[in-house]
Amino acid sequence: MRDFSLNHEALSLNTATVRKQWSLDRIIEECARRDIRAISPWRDQVALVGIDHIARQLRETGIKLSGYCRGGFFPAADKPGLQAALDDNRRAIDEAKLLNAPCLVLVVGSLPGALTGPPAYHDISRARSEVRDGIAASLEYARQVDMPLAIEPLHPMQAAERACINTLEQALDLCDELDPGRSGSLGVAVDLYHVWWDPKLAAQIVRAGADRLLAYHVCDWLAPTRDLLNDRGMMGDGIIELKKCRRWMEEAGFTGYSEVEIFSDTWWQKPGEYVLDTCIERHLTVV
């Protein structure tokens, strides 16, 4: 297993971690200042500054992407909605390509409309079927332009609104169905916040193998957790066995970045400089 106590060259910052403090261009500046070598930005953050500006800034600073957030949200109430989702995913793939992302992360969606009100339907099997079809359709274009898609299983507590793919096993079943040849064009993003509890986690990481393990996200699970979305913990403040899980990833062949992604009303209220410095310190000690 890599020794993270030596330096933080394997650290990537998911830019949602300081989204309330700074715009993306400032985030990139602050990362460069701290020798953080990779980020994973969100589309809305990119759009606010302008993608050409961000692309140039990345070239100038030498900062890489560990992923691009995000595609997905495939299910919809009707055919025009399904088509609109496919069109939007195509644009996301193009942006990921322009920014040289190693993969586009997919938060696949679930019951249509549940994020903002009563969903259009309650049939989660239908949502899962629409997700499969949506990924299959997007994968064709993604392969043409050589942009791997990374399915991110989300915690079951987000199964109604955000993602109906909720375990690594389920995500890998879909990978096997849509990319049986393990071409490298389809894999998974393993976010420990979503999967730490899974009794099959270690076995499914082995099953995934290096060619399906496209991204690795860390933060911590707080006990108690006070909010289903925005109460993630800083690494070391919760109960996830971070080093044990990283060992599983690396023994399966993963050599990529350890991407810090913390949605937290608590951390969003702290100065961005302090958040980044803490991320680095915890990366050196507990990740």
Q: Min. distance of Cβ 202 from a copy of itself in angstroms?
A: 9
Q: Which residue has the tokens 């496919």?
A: 86
198 binds a copy of itself (CB under 8 A): yes
Residues 227-246, interacting with a copy of itself (CB under 8 A): 228, 239-241
Beta strands 68-72 and 64-65, pairing class? unpaired
Specify the residue, 128 or 212, whose C-beta has the smaller distance to a copy of itself: 128
99 binds a copy of itself (CB under 8 A): no
Query: Which one among 67, 71, 75, 119 touches a copy of itself, defined by CB under 8 A?
Result: 119
Judged by CB under 8 A, the number of residues near a copy of itself is 30
Q: Which residue has the tokens 């830019």?
A: 15
Query: Which one among 19, 43, 155, 282 touches a copy of itself, defined by CB under 8 A?
Result: 155
161 binds a copy of itself (CB under 8 A): yes
- Among the listed residues 216, 200, 115, the one whose alpha carbon sits nearest the alpha carbon of residue 166: 200
Q: Left if phi > 0, otherwise alpha if psi is -120 to 50, otherwise beta: which for 31?
A: alpha
Q: How far is CA 196 from CA 138, 216, 246, in A?
A: 28, 12, 11
Measured in residues, the chain has a length of 287
Please state, in angstroms and rounded to a whole number, the distance separating the CA atoms of residues 109 and 159: 8
Query: Which one among 32, 42, 156, 286 touches a copy of itself, defined by CB under 8 A?
Result: 156
Query: Which one among 31, 92, 114, 213 touches a copy of itself, defined by CB under 8 A?
Result: 114
Specify the residue, 95 or 191, whose C-beta has the smaller distance to a copy of itself: 191
